[in-house]
Amino acid sequence: MTQPLNRRTFLCGATATVATVAGAGVLASMDSSLTETLGDTLEGLLQKQYQRMTPEEIQEALARIERRARRRQGVTIRCVNTPPRNQVTFGFALNLSRCIGARRCVEACFRENNCSEHNQPYIRVISLPKGSWDLTRGDHGFNPATVPEPDRWYLPVQCQQCEDPACVQACPVGATWQEPDGVVVIDYDWCIGCRYCQTACPYWARRFNWREPLVPAARMVSETHYLGNRPRMRGVMEKCTFCLQRTRQGRQPACQEACPTGARIFGNLLDPEGELRYVLEHKTVYRLKEELHTEPKFWYFTDV
């Protein structure tokens, strides 16, 4: 006959087990920097999802981010939480006739977004043989003496900021979502690093931090946004956000600013007078893998 389990023994055992497991988990995941204060670590661990935080909690989180950057990288950064603007939905159009495969956009984006030396950049420029749209025939690591090459054309691909994003649907914890200005963002403090969004994205636009990000202090861009280019941590996902730390303040995204040929057109889709709307209305535009119905807000067109 089984004896009824003594409740006290059971509770003690259960508590001890949970405490041990939790303790081990916390210790294993704690940032090993000795200067990291315990308070910041614990508060960070217990932080709520961005959309559920009160304004005060967001301010505390921003202060923690700034403190951590000072402690761990020895840099002074400003981390803000600029909200989306009313009556703005960001979109992008890219003129393939003008793109020469210089990849200045790739560099500028990498710097502006404080990307880790260990990571692939957000923008992928694919060199394709003229007359083909077959991506499997593309060259991702092209390195000719001069661009453009006579028999190639270039296709830059980055996050398409879909209206119906597969990544957002996939995320099991709601760590990625679409902001009111149409940008799909990630709460780096809420992501559990399962990489299901990376699997779901048809544009291969997401980048995972396989190790502790490495951003030399010398090139750290100090104007940062909570949902944008602030320092990330190991084991979480990141991607292009249309440079929201810039564009929410009315500036250009870094890729557009850097393009030597003016192939990139960025703007507000809700502005009927804007250049973006002009392109959409007067050019033959198309979207990558439109048949998957993710409704990208990123269009390609040619002059011809």
Interface with another protein by CB under 8 A: which residues?
1-3, 5, 25-26, 28-29, 32, 45, 49, 52, 118-120, 124, 126, 134-138, 140, 157, 166, 169-175, 190-196, 198-204, 206-212, 234-236, 289, 292
User: Which residue's CB is nearer to another protein, number 70 or number 293?
Assistant: 293
Cβ-count burial of 135 within 10 angstroms (0-12 exposed, 13-18 middle, 19+ buried)? middle
Q: Which two tokens stand for residue 105?
A: 């956009």
Of how many residues is the chain composed?
304
Least separation in angstroms between residue 303's CB and another protein is 24
User: Which residue's CB is nearer to another protein, number 23 or number 260?
Assistant: 23
Burial 44-76 (b: 16+ CB within 10 A, else e): beebeebeebeeeeeeebbebbbebbeeebebe
Count of beta carbons in the 10 Å neighbourhood of residue 148:
15
Least separation in angstroms between residue 205's CB and another protein is 9
User: Which residue's CB is nearer to another protein, number 18 or number 76?
Assistant: 18
User: Which residue's CB is nearer to another protein, number 21 or number 63?
Assistant: 21
Least separation in angstroms between residue 85's CB and another protein is 26
Cβ-count burial of 238 within 10 angstroms (0-12 exposed, 13-18 middle, 19+ buried)? buried
Q: Which two tokens stand for residue 75?
A: 């840099």
Cβ-count burial of 200 within 10 angstroms (0-12 exposed, 13-18 middle, 19+ buried)? middle
User: Which residue's CB is nearer to another protein, number 169 or number 222?
Assistant: 169
Least separation in angstroms between residue 34's CB and another protein is 14
Least separation in angstroms between residue 194's CB and another protein is 5
User: Which residue's CB is nearer to another protein, number 38 or number 304?
Assistant: 38
Least separation in angstroms between residue 189's CB and another protein is 9
Burial 178-195 (b: 16+ CB within 10 A, else e): bbebbbbbbbbbbbeeee
Least separation in angstroms between residue 168's CB and another protein is 8
User: Which residue's CB is nearer to another protein, number 236 or number 254?
Assistant: 236
Least separation in angstroms between residue 101's CB and another protein is 15
Pairing relationship of beta strands 176-178 and 184-186 according to DSSP bridges: antiparallel
**Hunting for tokens 């988990």 — which residue is that?**
25
DSSP H helical ranges for 233-274 = 244-247, 254-258
Q: Are 300 and 285 in contact (CB under 8 A)?
A: yes
User: Which residue's CB is nearer to another protein, number 201 or number 255?
Assistant: 201
Q: What 3-state class would DSSP assign to 265?
A: strand
Count of beta carbons in the 10 Å neighbourhood of residue 174:
13
